[in-house]
Amino acid sequence: RISCDSATTSNSNQSFNNNNIDKNDNDRNNNDKNNSNGINSGSNHSESKPTITRKHANIKQALRSGITTVDQAKNYIEFKTALRKLCEDATRAPYPQVKSPFRNAEVVELEERHGYGFALRHALLHCINTPYVCVIQHDRTFMRPAPVAEVVDAMRNDPTEKIKYVGMSMKSNLMYYDIFGGKYGKKAIDELRSMILRPESLCIGGGVYGPNGSSSRHMTADSKKVRQNLESLVETYRGSMQHITYKEWLQSVGRSTTAGDSGGRCGNVHQNCHQLSLTPTLFWYDNTHIVQTSHYRDFVFDPKHKMVARGGFVEDKLSPAMIRNVERFGLREGHGRFGCYLLDDHSGMFFTGHLDGGGYLTADEKDKIQKSIKAKKES
């Protein structure tokens, strides 16, 4: 189901649902419409020109605060109409002749602005009936094949129920182990190392994951700059403590890092098996993640905890709450209440990316976009 202000969820017969989450009502859908006629997206649209404060003079900040222009509001209505038709057409199309990620998806339009966090809460409370859910923000995409089913199996087969949330890595948290060590020091990082999980369900064969896995080869580069960025990232990863810690674990269990013998406890010893890792994190990333539905409903969105604010993101208040728990109860116990982990297949490649792609634009490409925006303003 797709909530506009809003959450997008796709129901299926699997044990998890794909939830494409639209972070804000109008955010990023119409950024090229930089008009100063501010109106509140939660009210009736008007052609008048109300005064806007300095706080909302920045168009991106205005959108995140629920303030939009007349043109942006019209564009957003058109966007929702087109999205609804896309879902309906995909569902009516004969299957499996026609395959679409929007098949069996439904648009759920909320009556007022909720913001990302409360829109997600609405979807989880009223639209989901599976024990696990995959949350995907509207501007995030999988960059390569990811072991979603295997992650769900690892969560389901976890006897201690430690694993409540598994985040798909992105470029900024690919080397989270190093980020954590830089913040909290040696004593904390030693304890974190002992908390890394390597479930048997994530010992995956077929040469799909790992340094030479086929999954990472799906990440194609459309330009020389993108290819150089990816190659540089892999080299940086190989020298990181995130990767060095994994190699040390391989040595401790008598495995090598060469292709075809890359660690793990696969039942079939003749299978090309690679062991993926789950690194504990003290940050609840709103980026693509798989989570226990009950954990969201009964803990994250429990009103008594007040860990999510209307109009805000889940990670904004939940992550500081996690830090406070760790400060009070210690790393292992404080983290255990939240059960957050990041998935790493040790290839040096991230699983998810941002659809904007601004960071990979060349100077000429950025200049062209700026000139186009300026021309629209002047016209």
**How buried is 365 (Cβ within 10 angstroms: 0-12 exposed, 13-18 middle, 19+ buried)?**
middle
Instruction: Evaluate if residue 12 carries a pLDDT over 80.
Output: no
* Centroid of chain to Cα 62: 23
Question: What is the C-alpha separation between 8 and 21, in angstroms, rounded?
Answer: 5
State mean pLDDT over 15-31.
39
Bigger pLDDT: 373 vs 213: 213
pLDDT of 306 above 60: yes
Interval 322-341: pLDDT, tens = 999 999 999 999 999 999 99
- Using CA atoms, how far apart are residues 313 and 196, in angstroms rounded to an integer? 27
For the full predicted model, state whether its pTM sits above 0.85: no
Q: Is pLDDT above 60 for 252? A: yes
Between 368 and 291, where is the model more confident? 291
Q: So what's the pLDDT on residue 205?
A: 92
Across 118-122, 139-143, 218-222, 359-363, least confident range = 359-363
CA neighbor of 33 nearest in space, from 65, 61, 72, 74: 72
Mean pLDDT of 275-287: 96
Segment 214-241 shows an average pLDDT of 88
Average pLDDT of the chain is 81
pLDDT of residue 376: 76
Question: Residue with structure tokens 């999510």?
Answer: 308
What is the spatial distance between Cα 93 and Cα 288, in angstroms, rounded to a whole number?
A: 27
pLDDT band, very low/low/confident/very high, at 198 (cuts 50, 70, 90) = very high
Stretch 35-49: mean pLDDT: 40
Per-residue confidence (pLDDT) for residue 162, from 0 to 100: 93
pLDDT the model gives residue 97? 83
Highest mean pLDDT: which range of 12-16, 46-50, 92-96, 299-303 = 299-303
Q: Is the peptide bond before 94 cis (omega within 30 degrees of 0)?
A: no
Least confident stretch, 17-31, 188-202, 219-233, 267-281: 17-31
Handedness of CA 119, 120, 125, 127 (dihedral sign): positive
Maximum Cα–Cα distance across the chain: 72
Say if residue 18's pLDDT is above 80: no
pLDDT: is 50 or 39 the higher one?
A: 50
Query: Exposure pattern of 168-206 as b/e (b: 16+ CB <10 Å)?
Result: bbbbebbbbbbbbbeeeeeeebeebbeebbbbebbbbee
The dihedrals phi and psi of 45, each to the nearest 5 degrees, come to -70, 145
The mean per-residue pLDDT over the stretch 64-83 comes to 86
- Residues 76-119: tens digit of each pLDDT: 899 999 999 999 999 999 988 888 889 989 888 888 888 899 99
> Once rounded to an integer, what is the mean pLDDT over residues 175-194?
95
Number of CB atoms found within 10 A of residue 45's CB: 14
Integer angstrom CA distances of residue 135 from 2, 112, 128, 248: 12, 21, 12, 33
**Could you tell me which residues come within 8 angstroms of residue 170 by beta carbon, excluding any fewer than 6 positions away?**
140, 285, 287, 288, 350, 351, 352, 353, 354
Count of beta carbons in the 10 Å neighbourhood of residue 272: 18
> Which tens digit of pLDDT belongs to each residue from 147-158?
999 999 999 999
Of 34-38, 104-108, 137-141, 270-274, the one with minimum mean pLDDT is 34-38
